[in-house]
Structure 1
């Protein structure tokens, strides 16, 4: 009876544990698929709805533009405000002909009216009429009060509703003198929409949510207050919602026009949308049913198999003293107690497992010194060592490796087993796996302390070779400093993991010691000052290529020696500081050039030299170089302006480039190069050209003799003046004066 009851519980529990996730997965899959299908159909319908809306509005806007062009035409403006009589037949004919051209090949208007309230005349297709004022105000009083210059309105006339484009005349007035109305039958709107075969059940409502397009199958829904109220509540331009009216569940896509305030609708029954999802539901149900059936069979067989050991144990216990003692529970518990005692004895024999737990406790810092000493003695560890060290192994998983990160734990355990078999027990504690590392405490038996690090490196290289040969894995090994007391194991573990974390800062390595990343107090920092100064000078000169070359040279200089991690960080921080000092020299702020970036944190966050080089050349240098280039261009412009100003003021004196250079404190060759680049002329050419210009002015505007003008401009003689003038103008000063006065 006990067997039957326990077996049933085991079977039911296993069945529920297996079937409930399958059922939940099937239900969630169906609802997820149905939701995605409905969303997809809604998006597709919205796209077609937008296309149809744009197509219809294109024709409406074309008609609107045609009417506006007519209102602004000379034909209209010259005739509208005067009174038309039967004598103005030609004018009437021209106006009517122009209005008939409003309709397009896609949009036909059945009625066109041009009305002048003040002069009391109206032009229609039927002719020129003079309506009575009473009838006129009764018919058009609401039209006159439209808030805008034009509007699309639904107007009922003779029990026939039509869509009307109404424009006040003149445009942009609050007191219209008349109006123009173009009436379009609703069937024309429906015809335009029916031309789009990509969407079914497409409708248009006017600004008052009255139906414009024709609909036979959805009149009961389109006139529903529930639908209209839902549309009024929607403030967005486009959207989708579901609605249930009269036991009919539908999906509604809507798009509201900002042009004429119409609402475009696409209504599709939810049943049509979810047709495909129902097929998926049946398919999911069938698959889940098959899985459930297979699960029930598997649970039945596995439960029976799992029950066998319990049955055997029960039979073994109750039959231990023979059939006469089957119901003797005391003897049964004695047998179980004896079994537990035997199991405890087996645990004591599993000394290696206890050793592993002890080692884990050392790494995690969970053991006090007294407990450590006690367990070392109880577990019979070898304590004859000179010093200890921690080796931390990390699996390096490249993008195309044979092993993936999901297998990392299995890989670490395989490395642990390999070390257990390959490295002698006398030189190690039991290897363990902790966090994402395989961790080892190594016993160093070398008596000379200088040989300790050499021994650790050789052992690490041997482990690296073994792992590569047996598992074809790339691993990294971090090594702590040697230590004596087991209580310091936690600190040594942190040192080894710290070495691994920073292994890429200087260069990628497979084996790295904490001494490689921590700077000795006696070590002096090496900073390439000469290269740095050349880099600063190239930046100030706005030489982009030279600056990038010097960045590369700086990095090469830093890495040619085996610098430590702290030393590397100090050098990078110094370099960045000197580059940012240039920003202060420019009177700029770091926020203006680099935003709110934490630059010093960024440069220390990069993994290796190449990343730092790319970051400096792409993030730091470009904005600084651009600012210095702007400063250089501004200085060159100021030099050119200063030179021209001096020439214009002192053109009659014997100006030289050296004289101007002394005045503005720049080297003559630099001024010459900048001036020619800016003006296209050398200094002497520009000076001669300007002086000749002033000479010509004196020849035209004064009666001074040529010799007097030559004396003003400090020529040695009149002949020298004539030669210089002829060189530029191709004629003598006298010929020029004669030509000008003639």
Structure 2
């Protein structure tokens, strides 16, 4: 082709024409080369950035998973630190002499060590007595604790994470011991004790292996300078401390950092991310050759494409310089073959056809603009969601004007609406209720101020109010917001026969603060757990958290006793009392939720003690379901309907299966003669088996020792007599075969957390309150 073009030019063409063709060829090839170079560097830069971003996201996931493990362990430690058993042991002046409390403490520590994942060891430390309680070694001296742990405890911290390097030749930077220390406060003058939990650092390595790092290496550097490294891969020949970039990372306070360094003679891309939770620094290292190995193929491909385009450009230049009309005709054929455009009249010339083509493009552009206008409500709703949930930046002001967001007045308030009791409705019914509440909200707002109403992705309905300039103060803005919210709640209840809960955030000046107001509205909604649903909740009226919280441990123990005795009616009553006790405290919604979690955990543990070989009695995760419920009334109803009936049924089934056994005969006798003197030898003789065999069979069948069962049964009877009769406490003690009332009072207080007199007084006060509450509900 090139020879055919060049031959006539070299033989018969004028020199001017030849120069023009050469210049045209150069002008055609230079843009191709420039575009090829730009395309290569752009693609390579984006490729490397995408790899680095993917590496950052992987590192962020590892950090979040490890932080979740540490936070979960901290919450579990806090839950056990407030256990009365540990507090009672820490308060003992002579812990070696109280074997019962020591045994309970060791059992609790052993359950933590066995049941909590990734735990190596659990200790209870009494620094004032220089004693340590270990579930494996019992009561020993404080020398079993490392020196660095005792030094940390000497500073009297409320809680602290410790990490310590254990030298080893198997791993480059050695093994590490991660320890969490939690202070256990006491109510008296006794010095505090400390719950010490050692975490197995192999949990971190499992996170590493699950993320499939490939050729990358990830290390974790703690504030104390210790290094957690995956021993399965190592890109570095020397310890990390010998590299300058490591010292730079250790001294840096930045949240993230990206650098390229020469390490052992090879360039490496190093990413650094710092955890906000504990200050640990996550560092990944990738050889730069791994990042750029695919760029060589891109470079070669780009070169070949550019070379091909240059040849094509040179050829096209020669052809087009001779045959302009042919090129124009090709353009005409392309336009005619292009679909989706109006057909031009055949009488028009080529330039008229081209003009008609561009007119058609303009017409299509107008159609597209109309489609955008039709989609404007959806685009507007998406922008409002971004405004409420994402960090504010200056470009949002211009976008707000484009989407016609009210900006006439300075102050904004966000209301958040949640429909109550929609569980069980079909998706269509739920959508209809939301649509109706949105329309009611729009109508109510139009009477008071400028505002917008949208449905958020989380299912809530958000209202953005732009207050009138005539409102003189923030107190008036709050009053106006309350008025709007109460009108919406009242109209929804009267027209739709449903209840809604509305959370109100504070009023702020400027669009930049609406995200804060929205967050406060959501926080207010969470307090349904404390205040109940079907009302208006303002974030400023939420009760402040107190420094101490009294968990109703006595009610928990009563409930566990009734569970072991399979008394569902009494369990239902105690659940109501448990919820009422939480409401009486000034607590946050998190305290309420954690209290119910602890109650469920204690009940499952009691069920396991009764029947360790039992199958799972619930077909779903109780804790996940609990977190879905947003009021204490819903939680109590769920516990009564779905949680405790299967437990009681399982215990009853177990009891029914032994109706004809020898142990059941003994149980029947105990229930009929609980108010007489009973003993194991007496019952063993009655069913004609040895005492030792009777003790073993009773523990296997009933799930507790005979003495524990007899005390629990008599305490249940004692509570019934205190609630239903006016017998003196000494008479009740005598009826239940206690030699003196002081022994009876001591056992009762240990089982119920209060004396018999206090129990009778409290129960007599609760009855009128419960009757009044029932009358109010009617």
Per the normalisation by structure 1, the TM-score is 0.38
Per the normalisation by structure 2, the TM-score is 0.36
